[in-house]
Amino acid sequence: MDELPYKTILCDVLVVGAGGAGCRAAIEASRLNLDVIMLSKELIGKAHTSMAEGGYNVSLGNVDPDDDPETHFKDTIVGGNYLNNQELAEILVNDASQRAFDLEEMGALFDRTPEGKIAQRVFGKQSWRRTAYASDRTGSEIMITLVEGIRKESVRVFDEIFATRLLVHDGRIAGVTAIDLKYGDYLVFRAQAVVMATGGAGRIFTVTSNAQLDVGDGYAMAFEAGCDIIDMEMIQFHPTGMVAPESAKGRLVTEAVRGEGGILLNNKGERFMNNYYPEVMELAGRDQVARSIMTEVLAGRGSPDGGVYLSISHLPKRIVEFRLESMIEQFEDAGVDIRDEPMQVSPTAHHFMGGLKIDTNAQTTIPGLFSAGECTGGIHGGNRLGGNALAGTQVFGALAGGNAARFAKEHERTGVDRKEIQKEFNRLEAMLKRKEGISPSVARKELTDLMWSKVQIFRKEEDMAYAVKELKRIEKEVVPNIKVDMPIKRFNPGWHQAIEFEHMVTTARMVAEAAFMRKGSRGAHYRVDGDPNDDGYYNIVIRKGPKGKMKLQKEDLVITKIAPP
């Protein structure tokens, strides 16, 4: 093993990830007078949060005065098919309002009611109009705000840094290894507490709404470090992603389109949701709408490009222009004027309900390691309600940041295992030095196609078995042989992709293994060959066993108020 040079950077609290949750955690921690470093895999402000469109759920009751956290809680649990950790869901619904006000204190501007309060609109599976919004660019509004917030606080932002491994020492978190994407230097960040806010992993699927960096780094790093991971089989396929042109495939078409009155039509012009969920129609749960659309497409009632139609053209143009401005822009690029013409849509891999298992302090099973945002599991159960993710980033971001800071104050920094560090950097270096091997882009395509064809909306036993087998093979045969085409360290996307690949495979395997274990249908996990004897009221927890093996076990649900039927 070569002795590779690296630099060590110290801080008190390290936040890995700079989206909605990461920024909020960093702001919270820095307010407690600690030295905070936030690592961003991209430039600051460019995280996937900026792509969230629809809104932020908060039971303010500004439009429907009868709404309250209790109802928000109930909707969240029922929508999540009772798999949610109810302690966490309670935190979500109770803190959502204060965290929304925090955002406005920092400079956010949600759209208003005539009285000047935050306006709220209807989203799927909600009893009241609860979703606060800024047109259909709510995520962007929140991201812009948090960047303003970060620039006010004393957070040290290290952007374009890619964390590759969590360092654990004496049973506690010690820091991370990382590379500087710009210049390719090896770095070690050491801190008393670390917050994971690395987002999701939509990119393990061929068709996804996610930004290019959402490859599951956090899930894989946490698993490797021995952290418990929960609900990984629960992946939300957003019912409405773009279908054409090819390069825009999978891009999100916000639920706000349906919230504002958009209707789904098949190629016969039938409003087909009437055949599936006549009570709630287009505003059924995201899993339900996604399956309904796929059923229509598979039955040959789809649009020419393999989707269905989503139409908003019956609404006044003025409303569409004010409330769905990004959609107009997005479809204009595709040559469609949504004020007059229907959009073509089909499901797209969107959100991971599962992730790092946390307690009510947002702490994971590794002391000193906290988690917030999409990489965190348990809050949304089997299906996340539209609008609960942005709220979740703020609620759990603040919680994780604050508790990480308190943890950092109460603990000394641990040491680090330098052998482990060298081993990691040698692994990264080997990808550059290898003479023969597999190109990351080829490997990646194989992986994403496997996941998209086998582990998607409609799941069955033999597909799951096949996917698990294939993923084990990829892990054994492809991962150790990944070779970067050009052996350059300075800003080399080929190298970045190569490093990401292992994270993607580990994440994909957790998804497939859990989906294989769960024999019945529940939430977003739909088995066409569902075992009727499996009521599915449990969570699947994954952790690393002896010799690095992936161990899965079923755990009882965490219930505080609402028992499953």
Q: In the bound complex, what is the minimum distance in angstroms from residue 489's beta carbon to other proteins? A: 9
CB 307 within 8 A of CB 345: yes
**Quick one: 61 or 80, whose CB is closer to other proteins?**
61
The answer to whether 349 touches 237, Cβ cutoff 8 Å, is yes
Q: Based on CB atoms, which residue is closest to other proteins, 119 or 451?
A: 119
Q: How far is the CB of 543 from other proteins (least distance, A)?
A: 31
- Per-residue tokens: 254: 């916000």
Residue type, 525: H
User: Residue for token digits 């660019």?
Assistant: 137
Cβ-based nearer residue to other proteins, 330 or 448 = 330
- Give min distance, CB of 544 to other proteins, in A: 30
To which residue do tokens 């692994």 refer? 427
Place of tokens 């080399």: 492
* Closest to other proteins by CB, 37 or 232: 37
Strand pairing class (458-459; 308-311): unpaired
Whole-number minimum distance, CB 557 to other proteins, in Å? 34
Closer residue to other proteins in complex, CB, 45/368:
45
Shortest distance, CB of residue 326 to other proteins, whole angstroms? 7
What is the smallest separation between the CB atom of 291 and other proteins, expressed in angstroms?
Answer: 25
| Residue whose CB is less far from other proteins, 487 or 564 | 487
Are the C-beta atoms of 326 and 260 separated by less than 8 Å?
A: no
What is d(CA 475, CA 212) in angstroms, rounded to the nearest whole number? 22
Nearer residue to other proteins within complex by CB, 459 or 483: 483
Quick one: CA torsion of 346, 352, 353, 356, rounded to 10 degrees?
180
Beta-bridge partners for 319: none
Q: Show the tokens assigned to 458.
A: 């409609």
340 CB-contact burial (10 Å; exposed 0-12 / middle 13-18 / buried 19+): exposed
Could you tell me if 469 and 488 are in contact, meaning their C-beta atoms sit under 8 angstroms apart?
A: no
Residue 320 CB, shortest distance to other proteins, in Å, is 17
Instruction: Give the DSSP letter string of 167-181.
Output: EEETTEEEEEEEEET
208 secondary structure, DSSP code: B
Backbone angles phi, psi at 250, to 5 degrees: 95, -15
Largest pairwise CA distance in the chain: 67
* DSSP three-state, residue 278: coil
Matching residue, tokens 């004496």: 170
Query: CB of residue 30 vs other proteins: minimum separation in angstroms?
Result: 14
- Interface residues with other proteins (CB under 8 A) are 42-48, 50-51, 60, 98, 101, 104-107, 109, 111-112, 114-118, 134, 137, 139-141, 144, 147-149, 151-152, 182-183, 211-213, 244-248, 251-252, 326, 329-330, 333-335, 439-441, 484-486, 488, 490-495, 497
What lies within 8 Å, CB to CB, of 445 at 6+ separation is none
Nearer to other proteins, 4 or 488 (CB): 488
Q: Let me know: does 483 contact 439? Beta carbons within 8 Å.
A: yes
Give how far the C-alpha of residue 76 lies from the chain's centroid of Cα atoms, to the nearest Å. Answer: 17
> Active-site residue numbers?
238, 258
The whole-angstrom separation of Cα 379 and Cα 357 is 9
Distance in angstroms (rounded) separating the CA atoms of residues 432 and 125: 49
Decide whether 329 or 337 has the Cβ nearer to other proteins: 329
CB of 334 to other proteins, least distance (A): 7
Query: Could you give the CA distance from residue 373 to residue 391 in angstroms, rounded to a whole number?
Result: 9
Dihedral angle over CA of 110, 80, 211, 165, nearest 10: 120
**205 and 448 in contact (C-beta within 8 Å)?**
yes
